[in-house]
Structure 1
Amino acid sequence: MKPAVFSYLDPRTVEEALDALGEHGDDASVLAGGQSLVPLLNMRLARPEVVIDINRVPGLDASRVEAAAVRVGALVRAATVEKDPALADALPVLADAVRHIAHPQIRNRTTIGGNVAHADPSSELPAVLAALDGAVVLRSAGGERTVGWEEFFVSVFTTAREPEELVTEVVFPVRPELEFRWTEFARHHGDFPVAGVCLGLDVEDGVVRAARLAATGVGDRPVRLREAEAALSGAALGAETARAVGELARRAVDPPSDVHGSGDFRRAVLATLVRRTIDTWPDRSQRGQRGTAA
């Protein structure tokens, strides 16, 4: 199929892009990587009057590694994050989660800002943001605001971004006290996961001192499993803890059934991922160095 007729705008500065969004608002769609928007246009599931292509806007394709956070520009490609040694060193779980996004050809075009703004409930990066308590920077002609992940992700493909706003940066906090891992299950390599888990633990002498746990694919947005986090804190690593926390995770979600599996199946997959990740977690104090990912 071919898309419905639309006007195409090609701004060359952030200000031009913001002016276009301010003028056209709900009638406009932003084109970045195009890996989600272009198929929607071709199937006429999206019918904007105006497409604003931001690919030639300078200043949105850079990342910064700071002491407190990794700040990724909206136009940074997934493949860049995957291969950037500075980003991988600062936040290994981010690079690992990105490696699970589709296939290399897709990652060469997919942008971090576009992925997050699309708010697919089975996407990897929103769950990483949730586990890290990350945020999204939104800018309009009237100013800039930073929105935490919990406020930003509203529902399926729905965010707190206003029509005149542009995602300019995604902020992934660095939490050196925690070691994070990403793991997921998909029916085929490159598919969206049936369920995925981002787990961060601070373990000393076999006992969990702090925990962060978020999941994707099991709700209408990324889910923080806070009851499971509380159960992990102070618990000894081992099979019993892994089973108990996996069961808490299973009970905490109520995913809908779809063509990829029933809600019960997604819950069972989530519980298994949580259990296996905890059950195979090595004690950092016993190996003397931080690992990267499972």
Structure 2
Amino acid sequence: MKPAAFDYVRAESADEVLSGLAQEGGNARVLAGGQSLMAMLNMRLAKPKRVIDIMRLNELRHIERKAGAVVVGAGVRQAELLAWPDLAEVLPLVALALPWVGHEQTRSRGTICGSLAHADPSAEMPLALIALGGEVHLRSAKRRRHVAAKDFFAGMMLTARADDELIEGISLPIIRQARFAFREVARRHGDFAIVACAAMTTPAGIRFAVGGVADVPTARDWPRLEGSALDDALNGFAYELDARDDIHATARYRRDLVRMIGRELIGEVLQ
């Protein structure tokens, strides 16, 4: 399959990207790693007039600690963050989730922010961002704004990003003195998850997040729960996610996975 015709622009600066987005609006798409966008172009699910390539912009390829968080720029590849020496220490949940993202070959091209922009509900990085309570940094030619993760994902492959905005980066909070766990079930390692789950301890108890079931990754905060109280909370959450049958799994199977993995992960972090 071949994409519809489009103009390709290799941006020389972030300002050039913002100018192009301001001119074309919804008719422009930003190309970072291309692992999702190229497939959509080839299948003509996306037909932009202009594709703006940002991968030569060093100003967007930074990983830095700032104000109690790790800021990851739009040009940072998944493999680069996974190889960052401080990752396991300051972002242990991301360190657990990233090896499940695609394969080594795709991680060498795909970007952290590109996965968030694509907003597949089965993807691991949106789930990690929701679980950690991170922020997405958006920038247009007119303004900058930060959007909380819980407000950024608006539906399946839908986000709060406006047509003239670039995802400039994200902030992932550094959470000390907490325990984290991550697990997913997929047909093969590297496939999109049928169900993915993350759990962490919080000062008030626990946070449990699920991807691959609802149209957006979803988290719940509970007090420390055990026994039948935990089973009831997980069962209620599994039904709230409104799972549907598809070619990969039935709704019942997804609910069973939420309950089973949830018990395992929450027990693991509460040890």
* TM-score w.r.t. length of structure 1: 0.87
What does residue range 128-207 of structure 1 map to in structure 2 within 5 Å?
A: 128-202=128-202
Contact kept in structure 1, 2:22 and 2:164, CA below 8 Å: yes
The yes-or-no answer on 1:221 pairing with 2:216 is yes
CA drift of 1:241 comes to 5.3
**Which of 230, 234, 239 matches 1:246?**
234
The yes-or-no answer on 1:102 pairing with 2:111 is no
* TM-score w.r.t. length of structure 2: 0.95
Contact kept in structure 2, 1:67 and 1:174, CA below 8 Å: no
CA distance in 2, matches of 1:244, 1:157: 30
How big is the alpha-carbon RMSD for the aligned residues of Structure 1 and Structure 2?
Answer: 1.6
User: After superposition, what is the alpha-carbon deviation per residue over 1:96-115, rounded to whole angstroms, capped at 9, x for unaligned?
Assistant: 11110010000000101101
Letter in 2 for 1:269: L
SS in 1 for 2:86: helix
CA distance in 2, matches of 1:56, 1:117: 19
CA distance in 1, matches of 2:148, 2:67: 19
Unaligned 5+ runs, structure 2: none
CA distance in 1, matches of 2:77, 2:110: 5
**Which of 240, 252, 269 matches 1:264?**
252
What does residue range 56-135 of structure 1 map to in structure 2 within 5 Å?
A: 56-66=56-66, 68-135=68-135
CA distance in 1, matches of 2:252, 2:142: 46
What does residue range 34-53 of structure 1 map to in structure 2 within 5 Å?
A: 34-53=34-53
User: After superposition, what is the alpha-carbon deviation per residue over 1:225-284, rounded to whole angstroms, capped at 9, x for unaligned?
Assistant: 2xxx32xx144x5x555534432332331122211112222111111110111234463x
CA distance in 2, matches of 1:158, 1:142: 22
* Alignment-derived partner of residue 290 in structure 1: none
Percent same amino acid among aligned pairs? Answer: 38
CA distance in 2, matches of 1:93, 1:165: 28
* Alignment-derived partner of residue 4 in structure 1: 4
CA distance in 2, matches of 1:240, 1:188: 32
Unaligned 5+ runs, structure 1: 203-207, 284-294
CA distance in 2, matches of 1:266, 1:247: 11
Contact kept in structure 2, 1:242 and 1:279, CA below 8 Å: no
Contact kept in structure 1, 2:102 and 2:190, CA below 8 Å: yes
CA drift of 1:209 comes to 4.6
User: After superposition, what is the alpha-carbon deviation per residue over 1:21-66, rounded to whole angstroms, capped at 9, x for unaligned?
Assistant: 1111111111000000001111111111111111112211111123
